[in-house]
Chains A and B, each alone.
Chain A
């Protein structure tokens, strides 16, 4: 090239690379965001503890948080042995749900009549009272993994599938036109624009889904299982061990929060370009 068009004098923007102390600052800012929640939880626990100590209420009725912690620790082997199957069933159920949601959402994106057929079904799947369906699942499929996987799939499938279908459909018409003008096939449009464009929405749906998944697993186990946090809670309740029920609730909460946090890690790895406030 011989003739070079004139370049406009535009100053280069300041380097955007993160300064070395970015990690420290990120930690500090996340603490600034988190402290009100932490303080609130601490205050509630203290009020609860003081109330139990002062009122002299029977521990079978309402155990103090310290007692829950102490008894939970004493029964940690049992709790752990029941956490593993719950985690397992959650991951298998949610994994199955994700796989089906992706397959159907992609099919719905390519074939309009599939989309029209699916949408009412997706909405209907959310109106099914899980409290009525879960026991039926046990009757139909026994005490194994299958009924629990199905319950989890039923409660998590909707948010994920809808998030994906809407994410694909939210693609800018102008972006589709641009790709078509380049000569892109429908599949090219999907992989270059529709799919990456839908990922931020998918991760939002994933976060909703994963918390439903843990709750769904515990609920399905509560109705009938050989092991798991749900059936553990049910057994301890019948033995009036409210402290151990609450200890199991605490474990469930920690599990949910950990899985929830994990989705952020995965999101940052998969779509580092998506910035959130």
Chain B
């Protein structure tokens, strides 16, 4: 299994022609084996943060450090799970989950063997030869996550993994992901819109401000593990959720307040 690493994002700035600055000096750290959830207003640049962190886009300035070494632009330490499941219809479920290993130069037979071993723990046994279209939404997400985990990279980047699921399936998947995490010891960074999901799964929740964004608050989740679904009704849980909620609300009010303070009309930026 991959060695755990320490990840640091150091004052990362990124903009695009047309949209202007998106990341305005984002700094964060992920300890080895830590689960960090990232929440923020819609369109604040969470996905852009992931593309820079995962080495897909170069930052305009700032660095990505892995175990203290510059890893800006490197994809190798990160296993990335995009928002859509992106299971390709021309591949069976097994071949879809083995794709990353094939790309990495593992022989097809070996790649299928390694991915196949995870079908049982991922609740996909018996669906190896199915086409992605034959799977339910929850199973598709599990297959996409299997494809990410099997790469055996130290850090998982999950971009709203359960965003497209109905709330019942989503609750199931959250409990299940907590179990997966206990088995496969990795660092996880997860973007989500769902504050309860963030508190339920993470060791630490980072709150991003509106675009151009930076980390404006951090909430440490000191609830015991493993988390049982009932934890969401405990006072400790609701207090944490309220803190995240509050940080997010004041983040969204932020720019208006600043404009008002400057004597503006309150129309925002």
- Give the residues in chain B near A199, CB-CB below 8 Å: 90
* A1 pairs with B121, CB closer than 8 A: yes
Interface 9-residue window, one of A18-26, A138-146, A173-181:
A173-181
- Give the residues in chain A near B182, CB-CB below 8 Å: 3, 5
Rounded to whole angstroms, the CA-CA distance of A4 and B122 in the bound complex is: 9
Contact of A177 (CB < 8 Å), options: B82, B121, B173: B82
Nearest opposing residue in chain A for B104, CB measure: A183
A8 at the B interface (CB under 8 A): yes
Q: Which of B81-95 contact A (CB under 8 A)?
A: 82-84, 86, 88-90
Given that A5-B180, A10-B136 are known contacts, is A181 also in contact with B88, CB under 8 Å in the complex?
Answer: no
Contact code string B116-129 (vs A, CB < 8 Å = 1, else 0)? 00001111001000
* A181 pairs with B79, CB closer than 8 A: yes
Contact code string A7-39 (vs B, CB < 8 Å = 1, else 0)? 111101100100000000000000000000000
Rounded to whole angstroms, the CA-CA distance of A150 and B193 in the bound complex is: 58
Q: What size tier do the contact residues of chain B reach?
A: 35 or more
Contact code string A172-203 (vs B, CB < 8 Å = 1, else 0)? 10110111111110001000110011010000
Shortest C-beta distance, A18 to chain B (Å), equals 13
* B51 pairs with A192, CB closer than 8 A: no
* B121 pairs with A274, CB closer than 8 A: no
B60 at the A interface (CB under 8 A): no
- Give the residues in chain B near A13, CB-CB below 8 Å: 134-136
- Give the residues in chain B near A274, CB-CB below 8 Å: 89-90
A277 at the B interface (CB under 8 A): no
Give 21 pairs: A residue, B residue, CB < 8 Å, sorted on A.
Answer: A5-B121, A7-B176, A8-B138, A8-B169, A8-B176, A9-B172, A10-B172, A181-B54, A181-B78, A182-B99, A182-B103, A182-B104, A183-B75, A183-B103, A192-B99, A193-B88, A196-B88, A199-B90, A271-B90, A273-B90, A275-B133
Measuring CB to CB, which residues of chain A are less than 8 angstroms from any residue of chain B?
A: 1, 3-10, 12-13, 16, 172, 174-175, 177-184, 188, 192-193, 196-197, 199, 271, 273-275
